[in-house]
Amino acid sequence: MKSIIFKKESLFIFFAFFVAIILPFYIGLLSIFAYVISKKKEWIHVFYISFLLLFCNMNLHKEVWAFGDFLGVGNDLGWYSTQWFSFNNYEYGFSSIFNEDYLIFINDGFLVQPKITEPVYHSFSYFFSKLTDGNFTFYTYFLTFFIYLPACIVIYRVLSISRASEVLIALTLVFFIFYSMKFTNMFNMIRHYCSGSFLILTLFFLYNKQLRWAFIFGVVACLTHNAAVIVCAIYFVVFNIERLPLRNEKIKIIYIFLASSVVSLLYMSVYFATFTNYEKLDDRGSGLLFKFLDVIIIILSFFCYKYRSKSYLDNLWPYYIGMIVLISFMHLTSFLQLRYYAYFDYFRWIGVVYIFSFILRYTKLKLLLFSVSFLFFVSFLWVRIYISDFDFDGLFHNYFIIKI
């Protein structure tokens, strides 16, 4: 019986996928409200798949060189698309891509050399470029899905396990897709966000106390981008403090705060001692206004957490604290702050769950609340794209129907 239901759901999602390719916004809009009203889980999958298809289409038309100054904006799409195309005709063998002597042949002269310590992304780029004949559509669609999809699945699974209501699940996913992920920066730090997808899977397995899988995905995250090492270190610190036989929750939080601070300070010391190129990375879609909004979200989430009803979701709260501490220290440099602030995209939703849960506890007009919230977050993304340093060949509404 279960297999029959699973097949029906799979066929439904498969059919909706093809319709959503043509009308991504409208299918996504229809499906999220259908999920809230009908409470059938297949609609939530159609929702995020639809909007991921919309984002894929936007990335496909995104200008590779932002204002002709890729160094000023740090546009990884320009660098790595060059690498992607170059790998298709590369004749020196896979192992040589990590050799400095072949740098100009791989990247057409740009200083983006694959690191032997970060083989995961570059291996994907090399082998799939060969397999797809350097197809750029495959490249943008695959990476955009990979950057978003694992997180969407994890958020849904975590909230389902915690027995969250359909409205709360829908609100959280809408927030994550339209607000939390800095879409204007999405192809600015490609490997960074790919490692972020592995990191949220690591977090999911730690949440479920599956240490073997958490370790595996943590290692893969670090081999995708070495910057993930410090996030995994925070994971390790939090996990071990959580295992201490302390009944006082406040004491544990203090320990996590202090230990995360020590780890962050050690990392900053190593950074300043070993790096000399303090490049400035910036994007108006991640400016002071958005960071101020994050501070408000963090403060409100602390208040709502204090007056929460206890749930299994609380196992994620200590990791949220650890990441806030880490991000705060990373703002001591202009280079690291944007890199690690990007990782926070995968954690921001944890605090927001408590805010939404608190609000839902005191309102009866849940559908109205969801409708207003949906409109707000869509409008927020529209503004963020409008002020972005990157040219998407149109604004958000120009992609409600697929753009050829």
Boundaries of every domain in the chain: 2-60+140-399, 66-134
pLDDT for the residue numbered 67: 43
Token digits for 282? 């910036």
CB half-sphere exposure, 224, CA atoms < 13 A? 24
pTM, two decimals, is 0.90
pLDDT for the residue numbered 185: 67
pLDDT for the residue numbered 104: 52
Q: To the nearest 10°, the Cα dihedral for 188, 400, 134, 71?
A: -20
Percentage of residues in the chain with pLDDT exceeding 70? 87
Q: How far is Cα 38 from Cα 44, in angstroms, rounded to an integer?
A: 11
Residue 101 is inside which H or E element, if any? none
Burial class (CB in 10 A: 0-12, 13-18, 19+), 232: buried
Judge contact between 350 and 207, C-beta under 8 A: no
- What does pLDDT average to in each consecutive run of 10 residues of the chain (404 residues)? 56 73 93 93 92 93 60 62 85 85 54 82 94 93 95 96 94 96 76 94 94 96 95 94 83 93 91 69 67 93 90 91 93 79 92 95 92 95 85 90 90
**Distant-in-sequence, close-in-space partners of 305: CB < 8 Å, separation ≥ 6:** 317, 351, 354
Q: Residue 241: count other Cβ atoms within 10 Å of its Cβ.
A: 21
DSSP tag of 368:
H
